[in-house]
Amino acid sequence: MRSLAQFSGSVAFQEPSVLGAPGIWSLEDALRYQALGQWPVWTPPVLFTSGAQGCLIDLSDQTTLFQDAQGTVPVASSGQPVGMVLDQRLWGGRTIEQELERQPELWTNPVPSIANYAGTVGSYDQATKRMLNTGTSVGGFPRFQFNLGLISGKYYQVHGQLSGSIDKLTFVRLANTGAANNLSYDFSSGQISGIVVSAVNNIEFLIDLFGNWIPDDYLQIDSLTIKALTGNHASQPTTAARPAFRDVGGVRYLESDGVDDALNITLPSGTYTRAYVNASGTMTIDEAVAISGPENIMREQTIAGILYIDRDLSDSEKDRLATYWGAAS
């Protein structure tokens, strides 16, 4: 085998027991592990290194689980509902914090486009990041749209803090219409948070829908961070239809009520291999699955891990996946 120093590029080599293991995603990583004289074990993200589409739900990382569909309330203990699970196929074994650190900051404090309605006169002070309305029309509302070059259909994580007349914000969203892309907003603290799909290229703040704005009111953006969170994430907006997280004897899994619980992902239309393991360690592989539209990842009453990929898996890959999941292939 050639020395690792002979390789270059972001994926430095093709040793199947190494490529895609946690931390082995660059030449520098590889040389570091070579110096240690040891290699981490194989992990499923290696299956996607050639750009395959799909989804990987790995419950060994509990930080990818949230109780709500907007990704604002982490799952902290067994028995809590699951409203969102993050797809980790492109993270290369990294945690959500490590993945977000790699993403560029998209909030740049641009001058917003302001859409005024019913006599409002909105303005924005870029230095203080204050949104103002000098109009006095009752029932009017200005909409502040900050174009950040967001991509429609992609997920973004947003965290922010507003001050001023924080109770006057009607909503904040990655959209210009509707409520499906609204971020979570705390009217008492001014905190913004959420992991949502963008419908447009901007983040929009809409204030004073009910006409209770007065001339001295303002909304100030104290802090705001917006970063892409790659993946085809699974979610369930209906509270009563969320499966429960279980951690029993070291086995982590999702449990459906067997009635209407579901966690849906939206994949590009195509033909996929679907592999999953239940809480008992039984692995099922469905091949040539045609998918178009939402797909429920709760294939059985319990799911301990699930993977979608738009290609066939080799026998060796199936065996490695079974070993990783502790399942019988």
232-256 pLDDT tens trace? 999 999 999 999 999 999 899 999 9
Residue count (the chain): 329
Evaluate whether 145 touches 204 at the Cβ level (below 8 Å).
yes
How confident is the model over 147-168, as pLDDT tens digits? 999 999 999 999 999 999 898 8
What is the reported pLDDT for 15? 40
What is the reported pLDDT for 215? 65
Looking at residues 220-231, what average pLDDT do you find? 96
Quote the mean pLDDT of the chain. Answer: 86
**Domain limits of the chain?**
9-41, 43-94+232-325, 113-228
Q: How confident is residue 208, by pLDDT bands cut at 50, 70 and 90?
A: low
In single-letter form, the type of residue at position 117 comes to Y
What is the reported pLDDT for 132? 85
Q: Which residues contact 318 (CB under 8 A, 6 or more apart)?
A: 275, 285, 329
- Determine if the pTM surpasses 0.85: no
Rounded CA-CA distance 275/269 in Å is 18
Q: What is the DSSP string of 245-269?
A: EEEETTEEEEE--SSS---EEEEEE
What is the reported pLDDT for 217? 79
pLDDT of 306 above 50: yes
* Partners of 39 in the β-ladder: none
How confident is the model over 16-50, as pLDDT tens digits? 334 444 445 556 655 655 665 655 668 899 999 88
CATH of domain 113-228: 2.60.120
3-state helix, strand, coil in the chain (%, to 5): 15, 35, 50
Lowest pLDDT segment from 49-53, 110-114, 169-173, 210-214: 210-214
How confident is the model over 313-322, as pLDDT tens digits? 999 999 999 9
Longest dimension (CA), the chain: 76
Lowest pLDDT segment from 37-41, 171-175, 272-276: 37-41
Q: How confident is residue 138, by pLDDT bands cut at 50, 70 and 90?
A: low
Q: How confident is residue 327, by pLDDT bands cut at 50, 70 and 90?
A: confident
How confident is the model over 69-122, as pLDDT tens digits? 999 999 999 999 999 999 999 998 888 999 999 999 999 999 999 988 777 788
pLDDT of 200 above 60: yes
Percent of the chain whose predicted confidence (pLDDT) is above 70:
82
